[in-house]
Amino acid sequence: MNPQEPVIKTEKLTKRFGDFIAVNEITFEVYKGEIFGFLGANGAGKTTAMRMLCGLSTPSAGHATIAGFDIYRQTEQIKRNIGYMSQKFSLYEDLTVLENIRFFGGIYGLGDRQLKSKSQELIERLGLQAEAKKLVGELPLGWKQKLAFSVSVLHEPSIVFLDEPTGGVDPVTRRQFWALIYEAASNGITVFVTTHYMDEAEYCNRISIMVDGSIEALGTPKQLKSQMNETSMDGVFYQLARGAKRGE
């Protein structure tokens, strides 16, 4: 992690839907190789914010650059330089492991030879040799998620966005998943992750907590805990999100 090198930089980024302000002037920076936890209650505006950062939705106001590209004008370049994985959609269940890797690698413009070596390497690293020709739908959820993550960083993006990647995954696999995240971060990939598991918040270098469209807290887990006088992230989150008006 290098504070001199912000890869995500937002300034008063705002998204309105009619009268409703989904995201309200959020300003923050995320650095190269950092694991950044993006927390918030349901309906706080996380998904909307993440969509803007991925170049899928145009902000109503404010500025942001992702991997050095402007969020308004250079969405195509942004998409080429990020990876994305969510709990809901990650891989095609009716394609095999290998086909999925080739497909997603191909989308991001990897050449044939590159694809071949990379997919081989990936399958070995995940220990999926026996499953390479199996349909993804037949894999247990934990494996799917690990595979999906690996595929999302196959093209060596500068940032990878993970939307609740570990929901419903067993505790052991969940930790293996985080080991993959650490590995990616140590290779210089910035990891931007949302989660509902508060212990996972502790694994992040820094976290932000969104309440009603605004970022109410931002810092290392340690800083936040001492600021709020809490012993666990659970407590910090509860203190902040309890006051949320929206949604309830």
User: Which residues of this protein are in contact with other proteins, per CB under 8 A?
Assistant: 40-44, 87, 140-142, 164, 167-173, 175, 178, 182, 186, 196-199, 202-203, 221-222, 232-234, 237-238, 241-242, 244, 246-248
- Tokens encoding 230: 């809490």
- Our CB check for other proteins shows the closer of 9 and 46 to be 46
- Our CB check for other proteins shows the closer of 109 and 172 to be 172
Q: Work out how close the CB of 130 gets to other proteins at its nearest, in angstroms, rounded to a whole number.
A: 17
- Our CB check for other proteins shows the closer of 97 and 224 to be 224
Q: Work out how close the CB of 74 gets to other proteins at its nearest, in angstroms, rounded to a whole number.
A: 32
Q: Work out how close the CB of 45 gets to other proteins at its nearest, in angstroms, rounded to a whole number.
A: 12
DSSP collapsed to 3 states, 44-99: CCHHHHHHHHCCCCCCCEEEEEECCEECCCCHHHHHHCEEEEECCCCCCCCCEHHH
Which among 36, 38, 33, 34 is positioned nearest to 51, based on CA atoms?
Answer: 38
- Our CB check for other proteins shows the closer of 41 and 82 to be 41
User: How far, in Å, CA of 196 to CA of 38, rounded?
Assistant: 10
Would the CA dihedral through 77, 22, 35, 136 be positive or negative?
negative
Q: Work out how close the CB of 52 gets to other proteins at its nearest, in angstroms, rounded to a whole number.
A: 20
- Our CB check for other proteins shows the closer of 217 and 233 to be 233
Which residue spans within the chain are E strands per DSSP? 2-17, 20-32, 35-40, 61-66, 69-70, 82-86, 159-163, 190-194, 206-211, 214-219
Q: Work out how close the CB of 10 gets to other proteins at its nearest, in angstroms, rounded to a whole number.
A: 22
